Structure 1
Amino acid sequence: LGLLVNKVTITPERGTTVNISSTVGKRCEVCRREGRSNDCSTSLVFKDNSCSGHIIQADSGSLPLLDFNRKFTWNLNASAPKAFKIDFTKTGLRQIPPSERCPDGHSYTLQALQTTGKVAVGKYCAAGTISSAQILSLGSFSLEVPAGQKLQNGQFDVSVGEEIKSLAKITVTLPKGISSSELLSPNYPDSFPDDDVMEWYFQVPKKHKTGIQFMNLTQPSCRKKETAVEYHSKGRAALVLSLTEAQPRPNWGNFSMTLRNCEMERRRAGSPGLSLSRLNKCLCCTLLFSPVVCKVDLRKVEGLSLYIEKLRPASDCEMKINSVTKEKITVTSNSDLSFQDCLPEDVRVTALRVIECKQLKDCPKTPVRLTLPALPSCLPAPLSSVTWILRPPQHGTVELTSPNGPLKQSLPGQPCNDSVIVKLAEDDGIAIGNFCPQGAIKKIQIHTNMSVTVSSMGGRALNIQYSSLFNSYSERYIFTVSSKKDVPVLLATPGWPEGMKSYSTVSWIVSVPPKMKAHLMFANLSQPKCSNRHTNIRVQRVNRLEEDYSRREDEETESEIVVSEGFYLNMSNCMPERGHFSIISVVFSYSDPLLIIVLSVVAALLVTSVIVLAVVCPKKKLNHQVSIYNPSGTIFLPGHTNFPKTREDNESHVYTTIEDTLVYTHLLRKGKETGVYGESDPSYKPFTGHTVSQKPLVSEDSVISGPTETSWLSSCASQ
């Protein structure tokens, strides 16, 4: 038999590898001329490497091979954890099962390359809803055309994508009107990769709803974990479901869907893997929906108000309350609302509740739960924030705790990465601080009217619970802190980075794990120039008489100290003439001294992250002040004073200097009124001091000692 010989000239384009091979079982060979002889084989490779930012679909280099089936492959690589991204926006792709062919003869295949091997992300045809694909790290994109089929010209842009934590991320851009898109799991109809993750992101037109159905589901036998599907969307809580559960009803807006496989049981013969196809339906709301009527009744919750605000004046959203069109709606009782063409991004829904107690004896004896109000699902958007206004009785204190665990303050080096942020402020709007879960602050006590605002981060739905309790303490701020081994805790003065209020006091009651020491560092210290009194920083161990540390603004401050057990960290402010008093304290409980190096690094980063105003104040004579004396041995214990705030305690009666006799006559008169002292002796003389063993002649509940310098509780009593 004669041999059929075809001669062609091949010139690979830059960045192209041409691989010519014969079908298995055929006698066809491909030869390359080497000098005067031919080098023949069943396959031959021509290669010319380059790097380009585009996938150019052109036939110029392969026209001589038009009589053969051709496959064009682009190998793509991005440095992990980044993905490479292919943009299909100009044409769009449509996924098909591996056994099907595309009408125009152009079939695209997307593969991911993992350490366990290649994974077929999918096979696609031109003209569809898939607008982009991202593959983690390594992968390939290929195009197959049959013999005799000319290659259509085209171009896909390639770029570095996101940091993804899945095998791949496919973006689906749905068209307006009613449509459906079929999407298949990787390796379909074979199993989805073992213990792997795949993500689809759906871009939904305005005024459209989208729902998901699973078809042809095959469930694996799992050794570890479980198969699951997750839904994430702006303004809604993440939803995790099993594949056999009913999937969410159609909803507004863009969303992502993540498919998770388990660690499959492969030891038993015939054990199935995970595979499924899913049908996505996009329904146009203008065909299905009329104005949404929403009945809201808040009468069951005392002091609750609901606020609904239209955010975008140019949107088609129309809101009505009791048939009256409004841009802002306030609901305080029973109201009929209606919403026309309102999307979640068009409106903001917030709630406010006032909880007030006029007399301490009438206050609830058990904590009041600060939970989200139950609102009807007909509202166009979820609750974005809720505020509780807490008003304790005169001289009362609000005590705030979190049943879900301790809080931490949002500070440089200690950011809030959780889904919610808790903002505490006084009734005049002055901030106390921003807090979030997973910290060390177990309890917060505020001696004034205050607000607690809980808002979501990143548009997530709220799901929180806190507790408040009304008590009677005289300190303005008390924080109860539980430190843990080798975990730095950052504590900032109220209102940081702004300064504390004039004459205000703050105390942190810090517990230290047994057999450990606490390393206390002072960073970002800002001291004012005081016109009256002094600022003060004091440290005293619990149940100890002596102080471990005490500094005023006109004294040099040590940057760090070591405390051998639980302690009180107390601070008080003066009346600033200029500047302000603020500081961040770092607490680090440890058993190994070498770990202090870690804390030093944390503090150094903290200092460099914030601009600090340091003011050196001249030394000035202190006003005489008083402190609480406890016969059991503790000079002061935050939360246990018995001096109610009265007219004579406010700042209108403060003088530059007061004679000792006047100071102590004033206290004796006050003690007489409260029943602590008997009749005052008219021959009373100025106090001349006493030793520790000489206890004042007063009750053990409330005892007055002689004058001390910048006593912390004296500022507290004079608020």
Structure 2
Amino acid sequence: MCGRSHGGAALALLPLLVGLLPLGAVAQVGRNSGADFDIFLPRGNNITVLIKRGTLTFCNIILQRKRLSSLTINPGERAIFSFDCPQPEKHFVLEVQKNIDCMSGSCPFGEVQLQPSRLPALNRTFIWNVKANPRVGLELQFSRPRLRQILPGDTCSDSVTYTISSSLEKTVVNIGTFCSNGTVSRIKMQGGVKLELYLPWDQNRNFSGFNITNHSSIKRLCIIESVFEGEGSATLMSANYPKGFPEDELMSWQFVIPPHLRASVFFLNYTLSNCEKKEERVEYYIPGSHSNPEVFQLGDQQPGNMAGNFNLSLQGCDQDSQNPGALRLLFKVLVQHLQNEGNKVYTVDLSKEKAMSMTIEPRTFKMSRSFDRACLICEGPRKCNPNVTLTAGHKHEISFLCDDMTRLWINAEKTISCTDIGYCTRKNYSLLVPSDIIQLPVELHDYAWKLLVPKDKISLQLTPTQKLQQHTHEKNCKTTFSYVLSSAGQGQNLHFGSFCPGGAIEKIQVKTNISVVLRTYSPGFSNESFRQGMTVTFIHSLKDEGVFTVTPDSKTKVYLRTPNWDRGLPPLTSVSWNISVPNHHVAHLTFSKDRMGVSCETGRAFMIIQEQKAKAEEIVSRDDEPLPKPKDLHHNFWVNISNCSPMNGKQLDLEFCVSLTPKKMDMTVIILAAVGGGATLLFALGLLACYAKKMSKKKKVSKGPAVGIYNGNTNTQMPGHVGKFQKGRKDNDSHVYAVIDDTMVYGHLLSGSNGSSTGPEVDVYRPFQGPMGDVPPSPPPICSRVSTRKLHPEDPLPFLLPESDGEPYTFSHPKPVEVKENRDNDIPLLEKKELENIME
């Protein structure tokens, strides 16, 4: 053992004669203020009794008809007194102090009894001051129940408290405060000892609970022995805690552990002083260790899973006199059985992982036992901790000291970041929980992937191994796990929802950074882990915050809802659903409510439905209009929902359902069509020929003619002149012309007498832009959104002419106007004779 050396042989200690009356002879005060108490202290026993007021009060001590606020009884004196109040225990405290001098005279030892007898039933403190040579070790032995150390300021359940301190070069060092029912069996100290025992007024205890014996020099401040007879834990602390540990001192703890149990040490709190010389450290003497003492810094992981007895020592240093700082240590020793899992070693290979970490930690668990076994995770034979973080780039060997593995769970996180767009777009990433994690006997709680991309330059596409179902109130996820998708960038607050396998969502596209969390809900995830997995690809930047590709099953309904269901879709956010309708089926689209329910502060919110076919018209509903009633859709279609800047309180949250039914065909019609198909075709061809010839000779029309505008860039040669049309009709501009109705040319003449215009309504035509399955319908600009047509929910599905950004023009809706017949305007560009020749 090393530490401050105190040379010299131990002084011979003589027996301590403490044959005094037991506390059982004490007269109780009760509630009788007139009771008299008689205390006699023999001369030479070095005992002093002090009775004093505990609080400011009007209660007094009556001694020889005198009223006193305090009373001191010295050795060789006798006092007969009483109190002038009915409950003196609320007003007075009593101290019994005994001095034991081992410096010059005899130094008795043995069992310490409480004395004197016949003390009033007041809150009382017994104090023993033992003076000894600094080179002499004294030992306090505590019979059952053993002691349990508590933090300064804490109280004991029965209020019986021991306070032990030591004298070190005229300085008092607090060893600690203790209650009953613990593991501390002995405390050895170098030099003088002061022990205080506090008893409440209603405690009839008649024994001190400890012995004093001599001991050889221990060459350190103190040694505390802690004995475990079974599973349990003990919290201990350095001397003078929470004040600083004495400078350059050494303190030790001895732990007695049954061989069939395992002990682990955890530092709960510590601070370091400012050292000028030496180094603050802790040392362990561990049975079977080949490197005793094993030296650790206070910030190191402390040993665990230790079998048998072991010692722990705290060594201070020479402190800076100007700025000493404070060395303090609070730690816990946990002793428990070796569990079955303690003999198994699991390998977690993260050597090929990057930007990934994994934590095994306690989950929220309500304890009900007096002693709670800890669940420890060990890396190696003795490095054990209640929680362990495993980092990427390494292979880890772990074992468990835990009687109930359900008290632990695993949380992992991995970051996938795209910095090189060219590289990212050529590479796919797999979101898959490694098999080394699945095979652990601990439940996986969360595995989170953070997917980061450059803003407005590239977007993300998630393709699950199995199609996903969105968790809704109407259709809950019943699998052991689900995916939680939410935005991962700063300032973003978009929760896309929870999704689990077994649905109709084939892929999810998101505009910017996203967090994908695989969250489990039962220990059965290992049996369902084959259903997990997603592939991440990087795609061109999206306009919508999210695009869901949905392929419904004809046997089940598909329920879908907008992101941020609990808080409402964020302002100015647009989300689209690309929904497929199989051949020979009809999709039935139903909204869960009649209106959007959002109140816009600025802008307008839109819901758009558009079939993916040529000339399909958009069905548009604004926030101030009813949503469409249930509709049947025969082709693949888009659903787009775009939010405005909503007012507080009324947010945009929509849910809709898609179901499929087979198309119903009348068999009679099919048979008739098959039988009469040939005859019908011949009849139609003959009718067409007659009609064409008749029209060429017609001289009148019932309505005014349309006025054509000649396109000068086209070839005006007659079709009969071969060679003039070198391109096909679809490749040149010969078919391009605009039509202006009469009302466009003469609309100004139709003004009313009051100056009001009765001209045609003019709308903006939006042409078809290409493959309808690639781009969702886009609403008008946020600040000036105007619906192309306000549709009643019961209107039939209209058709919309195709649109092209390069060829915008307006068209009119003429109102019926009677126009006088004009035979000369029937054929505006060709002579009638020429046309007749051509037709013939």
Fold similarity call, TM over 0.5: no
Normalised TM-score (structure 1): 0.43
Higher-RCO chain (CA-CA 8 Å, sequence separation at least 6): 1
